[in-house]
Amino acid sequence: MKVSRVILLSALLPILLPCAAAWGQQPAPSRVYVEPLDAHTLAEVKTLYGQLVAAENRHDLKAVRPMVWDSPSTLFVAKTKTAAEGNWAGFWGTDRVTEHFHDLYQGPFRIEPDYSREKVVGLTHDVAETYVPVRITVAYAGQTPVPKPFLMILEWIRTPAGWKMATDIALPIPPAPPSNS
């Protein structure tokens, strides 16, 4: 009986070893990117970004609010009222985000997108990202209202009510270092 097990094992070993070696291995990831959103959907998100900026430039919170995702996970990264608050911070939740927009709109506030450099991509079938270099003029929290360069990065989420802005990050672009020439 022991001999038959040994014979069986030796017969199966050439078959089982490659299977055991492959166990748990994942196929190599595809190196070809496939956009998860069709051209119509990308154009829709691009249009929504333009509508959002237009409403913000009008300081029209009633038009901005429905474009914002109704979630405690909604995020707006922006300047705080005081340096003691961290100077820049994340404002979380729909109410807090729209409250911060309201505060920004109390003085000069304008976004000037460079639409020639706008990029909209799908991250998944339900998440899209908008990237646009902009100049923002704002007097919030003691700032001098002169246009300053930012990279505006928005995440959009598809909801039953349509695409909504889930994350808004205005990343300030620091001045270029002085040249040594």
Which of helix, strand or coil describes residue 113?
strand
pTM of the model: 0.78
Residue 121 within any structural domain of the chain: yes
Which of 100, 99, 113 lies closest to 52 in space, CA to CA?
113
pLDDT at 142 over 80: no
Residue 31 within any structural domain of the chain: no
Question: E strands within 9-147?
Answer: 75-79, 88-92, 109-113, 119-122, 127-138
Domain count for the chain: 1
Residue 124 within any structural domain of the chain: yes
Residue 3 within any structural domain of the chain: no
Q: What is the mean pLDDT of residues 119-134?
A: 97
Residue 22 within any structural domain of the chain: no
What is the reported pLDDT for 8? 42
Cα distance between residue 62 and residue 147, in whole Å:
25
Spatial CB neighbours of 56, under 8 Å, sequence gap ≥ 6: 64, 101, 105, 109, 111
Which of 164, 161, 136, 138 lies closest to 149 in space, CA to CA?
136
Which structural domain, as residue segments, surrounds residue 143?
A: 39-172
What is the reported pLDDT for 23? 54
Q: What is the pLDDT of residues 60-117, one digit of tens each?
A: 999 999 999 999 999 999 888 877 777 888 999 999 999 999 999 999 999 999 999 9
Q: What is the pLDDT of residues 152-179, one digit of tens each?
A: 999 999 999 999 999 999 999 988 888 8
pLDDT at 26 over 80: no
CATH code where residue 110 lies = 3.10.450.50
Give the number of other CB atoms < 10 A from CB of residue 135.
15
The structure tokens listed for 159 are 């909801």
